[in-house]
Structure 1
Amino acid sequence: MGVVSRSVGNAFRNKVRSGAVVVILAVAIGLALAMLVANQAVGAKVDSLKASVGNNLTVNPAGSRGGLGGGNPLTTADATKAAAVAHVTGVNGTLTVRLANAATASTSGSAGGPADRGGAAGRFGSSGTTSLVSAVQPGVLGQRNNGTGSTGSPTGGTAGGTTQPTFTIPIQATGVSSPTTAAGTALKLTGGAQLSDFAANSTQALVGSTLAAKNSLKVGSTFTVQTRTMKVTGIFDAGDAFDNNGIYLPLAATQTLVDQAGQLSSLNVVVDSIENVAATQAALTTALGASNVDVTAGSNNLQSAITSLGTVQNISLIAFIASLVTAGLIVLLIMIMVVRERRREIGVLKAIGASNRTIGVQFTLEALVLVVLGTVVGAVVAAFSSNPIVSALVAGNTGSTVSAAGPVRGGGFGGGGFGGGGFTRTRGAFAGASQLIGTISTSVGWQTLVLGAVGILAIAAIGALIPALLTARVRPIEVLRGE
């Protein structure tokens, strides 16, 4: 116990120097911990991307994008064929349609019902009507793209001498067969509960937050789709105002309401492993017919994102090791200086019978006291600096270029994201690498602290061991002769 007490006391013999050493060690150790946290956070993000995006495929009708082009609707039979393909673990079919406001449709004569599949002057038709009023205004671009097809007045125009009504954005209704979105992930609800009744006569609906606010809806409120009264079971937040200007309905109910029995807009196919995505993509194309479907994957963007994150992981690992070595060198230099300053003290201790081992342990414990204090302060530094550091590393190693495949948005509605007529918006899997990565959050957990502390203490012990061994070279007679 005497050795321990002397070590602690000696660590604070020169308070100014000890304080400076602790500060310097805190910076090095804090950087080491921050890099360790960044490495773990990026690794977790890579695993998350592989699990959520890397093994997903999207099947759309061939030649159909954003309501433009041809293609025939997918069917439930296609979903059955897709489910039978090797390595496919799940198939989620959706039907996405557009619903016009009933009052606007009756006064303008457009979007009168399921039979209204097109519109004059370049307008996209809708599949039915709803009592809901869109929460998003078309603006100049929406009127220009969907009014007359020209670049003229944003308030409408003429086509063949006929005055065209002002364009209003319809509401996207997506029919799903489970409590998930088209991408196969659960919707983020801000109130209420997920869909639970998926029968053809179901009256359940999920409403986007901006659409709910526009129409003064809350959980339990009702609205109409065609002639059916629907009840709001939950309100969701999809991330932006446009995506929240939509509703989710049970798939069978959607097919019944718009008279599209057995039809699907797209299929989200889950593959058992990211390694089997390419082979499964080819197998799905063969099974469903290359002339009938387009099978796409986010593999290109995913690989770009994983490569970028791998670079960040390597940088953070190298920086972690470099910071540990730096901390070890700091301890080494400080303890060499301390040993030289205390040669007389060491000589006296050895003269009265102290062993080299006892003296070495004393100096090692003294170094560890300083390192422990530096680690405590460094952990605080890491807690505040890890998020900015990982953000800077990711931003510096990830391109912001969006791939040619995405993000895919609807051709009409002023660049909006409605996917009608056999197309479902698939933003997540086809966004650029930077959009795919999104935000990486870090946290300094006790596991990280333990792992980092073990590494730091090991380096510190090595740094203190060399000066401790120098004590064995101090001969009492030489010290006393010098006195």
Structure 2
Amino acid sequence: MGVVSRSVGNAFRNKVRSGAVVVILAVAIGLALAMLVANQAVGAKVDSLKASVGNNLTVNPAGSRGGLGGGNPLTAADATKAAAVAHVTSVNGTLSVRLANSAATSTTTATPGAGQGADRGGPGGGFGSSGTTSLKSAVDPGVLGQRNNSNSGATGGSTGGSTTTRPAFTIPIQATGVSTSTTATGAAIKVTSGAQLTDFAANSTQALVGTTLATKNSLKVGSTFTVQSRTMTVTGIFDAGDAFDNNGIYLPLAATQTLTSQAGQLSSLNVVVDNIENVSATQAALTASLGATNVDVTAGSSGLQSAISSLGSVQSISLIAFIASLVTAGLIVLLIMIMVVRERRREIGVLKAIGAANRTIGVQFVLEAMVLVVMGTVVGAVVAAFSSNPIVSALVAGNTGSTAAAAGPVQGAGGGGGFGGGFGGGGFTRTRGAFSGASQLIGTISTSVGWQTLVLGAVGILVIAAIGALIPSLLTAKVRPIEVLRGE
């Protein structure tokens, strides 16, 4: 007990130096713990991605690609066949359609001089639309949009010397009917206010609205708007990642099918496989079951490998930084204890002269170092608690910035384009935002400093610190009491 009490007392013999040592150790230990927390959080995210995205398959009509391909609509019978395939745990269908603004469409219909109807081209945003809505698009088509739809506000044909102005093209609003509150990748729709969809009946009036569309139309939770002749209520507002994808709405699948007269029809199927190891076999089985000429089955997300690769880099960086921080803490303890041993040679000589064993003196110095390390660990844990989230965010952002751009769009929900007027009339579905890229798949990684992390980190730190303190303490064995006392 005397050795312990002396060690604690000696640790605070020089309060200024001890305080400085504790602060320096706290920074090194805090960084080490923050990197350990980041490593664990990223590892958990990788496991989550593999479970929620890596084991997903997307089934689209054969030849359907972004509104430019062909193909026939999928049906409820196809979903039933897919569910019967081995290793398939769930099948969720979606129906993507385009809704034109009702006011713009009526204007187009009322001005035949424009030369184009609501079902044929840019005026009023009616191209390939499946229905109308009271909502106004939040995205401006700009010069390219007007040019591609042959409008640009130009004048149309003339009748009796009069000239008719074509209505400007407006981008239709993307509506996605879902059977559960999930996206095509199986991840939950990110609702920023309000609640998820809960009523999936054919007569449901619930809807989720994108942030930019809500802002454009001054909508909030509880507001109403119309789709066809049905009044819908905003149950929640979602954020899908960018302005284009937030210019859309999510509706219950059955309600979307009813409103657009597409009973039983689907744009795509999201199939969840029981294990990531069975994805390839299940992909082949689905293709055989549904017919290679009828469907295209794609595995997961094109951004998944980029996301996992990016997170793997973050894990490596955080692990290296954790080890480097531990070594730094050990070196700090080593240098401090070497200095302390040199300063207290006389005290060591006296202790040895009165019969103190080398082991006892060594233990005293190790315990003294441990007191400083424990204090540094306590302060470092507080530092890690506040710094771990910014650190992991910076690491992830730095490693996913380029890969997210290279990932490109994902073939997922909505491949419903190009089915012609009979099936939603087109559906230039742009599967981006929540459905794309490494950064969108990764999303936000939250960290927490749990007791398991503290224990693991503290054990590693104490071991390194003990080694750092033990080396100079072994130097005490070379101190001969007579030489020290003679020097005094």
DSSP-derived class of the 1:206 partner: strand
Distance, in Å, in 2 between the alignment partners of 1:292 and 1:159 is 43
Give the CA deviation at 1:119. Answer: 0.6
For residue 53 of structure 2, what is the amino acid of its counterpart?
Answer: V
DSSP-derived class of the 1:108 partner: helix
Give the CA deviation at 1:387. Answer: 4.2
Aligned to 1:151: none
Aligned to 1:480: 485
Q: Given the alignment of the two structures, is residue 127 of structure 1 paired with residue 127 of structure 2, yes or no?
A: no
Distance, in Å, in 2 between the alignment partners of 1:61 and 1:212 is 31
Alignment of 1:330-409 (within 5 A): 330-398=332-400, 399-400=402-403, 402-403=405-406, 406-407=409-410
Alignment of 1:405-420 (within 5 A): 406-407=409-410
Distance, in Å, in 2 between the alignment partners of 1:281 and 1:301 is 18
TM-score of the superposed pair, with normalisation by structure 1: 0.85
Distance, in Å, in 2 between the alignment partners of 1:190 and 1:24 is 41
For residue 167 of structure 1, what is the amino acid of its counterpart?
Answer: F
DSSP-derived class of the 1:198 partner: coil
Cα distance change on mapping 1:385 and 1:91 into 2, 3 Å: same
- Whether contact under 8 Å (1:297, 1:429) holds in the other structure is no
Alignment of 1:6-155 (within 5 A): 6-109=6-109, 118-120=119-121, 124-148=127-151, 154-155=152-153
Give the CA deviation at 1:453. Answer: 1.5
DSSP-derived class of the 2:371 partner: helix
- Whether contact under 8 Å (2:11, 2:371) holds in the other structure is yes
Distance, in Å, in 2 between the alignment partners of 1:283 and 1:117 is 42
For residue 290 of structure 1, what is the amino acid of its counterpart?
Answer: A
Distance, in Å, in 2 between the alignment partners of 1:352 and 1:158 is 111
Distance, in Å, in 2 between the alignment partners of 1:470 and 1:32 is 29
Cα distance change on mapping 1:227 and 1:29 into 2, 3 Å: closer
For residue 91 of structure 2, what is the amino acid of its counterpart?
Answer: V
For residue 179 of structure 2, what is the amino acid of its counterpart?
Answer: S
Give the CA deviation at 1:73. Answer: 0.9
Aligned to 1:453: 458
Give the CA deviation at 1:89. Answer: 1.0
Distance, in Å, in 2 between the alignment partners of 1:176 and 1:136 is 23
Aligned to 2:4: 4
- Whether contact under 8 Å (2:434, 2:440) holds in the other structure is no
Give the CA deviation at 1:267. Answer: 1.0
Cα distance change on mapping 1:120 and 1:247 into 2, 3 Å: closer
Q: Given the alignment of the two structures, is residue 187 of structure 1 paired with residue 181 of structure 2, yes or no?
A: no
Q: How many residues align?
A: 468
For residue 459 of structure 1, what is the amino acid of its counterpart?
Answer: I
Q: Which runs of 5+ in 2 are unaligned?
A: 416-423
- Whether contact under 8 Å (1:265, 1:422) holds in the other structure is no
- Whether contact under 8 Å (2:410, 2:435) holds in the other structure is yes
Moved more, 468-477 or 452-461: 468-477
- Whether contact under 8 Å (1:96, 1:423) holds in the other structure is no
- Whether contact under 8 Å (2:377, 2:458) holds in the other structure is yes
Moved more, 187-196 or 462-471: 187-196
Q: Deviations over 1:236-277 (max 9, x none)?
A: 343444333322222222212211111111111111122222
Moved more, 34-43 or 389-398: 389-398
Distance, in Å, in 1 between the alignment partners of 2:61 and 2:118 is 17
DSSP-derived class of the 2:403 partner: coil
Cα distance change on mapping 1:258 and 1:270 into 2, 3 Å: same
Aligned to 1:444: 449
RMSD between aligned residues: 3.3
Cα distance change on mapping 1:33 and 1:232 into 2, 3 Å: closer
DSSP-derived class of the 1:186 partner: coil
Q: Given the alignment of the two structures, is residue 431 of structure 1 paired with residue 436 of structure 2, yes or no?
A: yes
Distance, in Å, in 2 between the alignment partners of 1:299 and 1:137 is 29
Alignment of 1:118-267 (within 5 A): 118-120=119-121, 124-148=127-151, 154-156=152-154, 158=156, 164-267=166-269
DSSP-derived class of the 1:69 partner: coil
Aligned to 1:463: 468
Aligned to 1:322: 324
- Whether contact under 8 Å (1:66, 1:420) holds in the other structure is no
DSSP-derived class of the 2:186 partner: coil
- Whether contact under 8 Å (1:204, 1:232) holds in the other structure is yes
Give the CA deviation at 1:126. Answer: 0.8
- Whether contact under 8 Å (2:242, 2:433) holds in the other structure is no
Moved more, 33-42 or 436-445: 436-445
Q: Deviations over 1:118-141 (max 9, x none)?
A: 414797221112233333332223
Distance, in Å, in 2 between the alignment partners of 1:194 and 1:378 is 40
- Whether contact under 8 Å (2:88, 2:282) holds in the other structure is yes
For residue 37 of structure 2, what is the amino acid of its counterpart?
Answer: V
Moved more, 304-313 or 86-95: 304-313
Give the CA deviation at 1:26. Answer: 3.1
Aligned to 2:418: none
- Whether contact under 8 Å (1:53, 1:429) holds in the other structure is no
- Whether contact under 8 Å (2:177, 2:254) holds in the other structure is yes
For residue 120 of structure 2, what is the amino acid of its counterpart?
Answer: G
Sequence identity, in percent? 84
Aligned to 1:414: none
For residue 45 of structure 1, what is the amino acid of its counterpart?
Answer: K
- Whether contact under 8 Å (2:107, 2:167) holds in the other structure is no
- Whether contact under 8 Å (2:302, 2:436) holds in the other structure is no
Distance, in Å, in 1 between the alignment partners of 2:32 and 2:157 is 68
For residue 43 of structure 2, what is the amino acid of its counterpart?
Answer: G
Moved more, 120-129 or 252-261: 120-129
Give the CA deviation at 1:101. Answer: 2.1
Moved more, 20-29 or 321-330: 20-29
DSSP-derived class of the 2:170 partner: coil
Distance, in Å, in 1 between the alignment partners of 2:332 and 2:295 is 64
Cα distance change on mapping 1:321 and 1:475 into 2, 3 Å: same
Distance, in Å, in 2 between the alignment partners of 1:225 and 1:455 is 61
Distance, in Å, in 2 between the alignment partners of 1:308 and 1:235 is 30
